[in-house]
Amino acid sequence: MTDMRTPKPLDIGQIEALLPQRYPFLMIDRVTDHEPGGWAKGYKCVSANEAYFAGHFPQKKVMPGALIIEALAQMGAIAILSAPEDQGKLALFSGIRQARFLRPVVPGDVLHLDCRITRRKGPVGLGTAVATVDGETVCDAELIFALQA
């Protein structure tokens, strides 16, 4: 059976309406689809012009793992904050479990981000997140968040 669902993309203006992060810390370029309160997926185009590449590392540019995790957390925040009852709240990063980094992310890569909310109790929840490049997993983790009004 074919999925008849219409994708729900978000452009940069819609992303900025949900997230408080701005340049140089906004790590999402586009949300390609999402289910409010459930999941979100999209991407970040990794450019050699990113400020962090000046020091990480000048001779062999590698996107810091902490920023890959941050990009995944921001995608999780999109999933949560797009739900009508949570719009206008702040999603705070509360923890990371089982994070694995499987290969470097370098300039020219398109980092595909997918975060699914798997559990929620009140303002606290858990998401499973995966980042891929060219279909290959580069990072996966469980992310814990807390919402603040």
List, by residue number, the catalytic residues: 56
Question: What spatial distance separates the first Cα and last Cα of the chain, rounded to whole Å?
Answer: 41
C-alpha 7/C-alpha 133 separation (Å) is 21
Q: Which residues contact 9 (CB under 8 A, 6 or more apart)?
A: 30, 31, 32, 33, 42
What SS3 class is residue 34? strand
Q: Tell me which DSSP letter residue 16 carries.
A: H
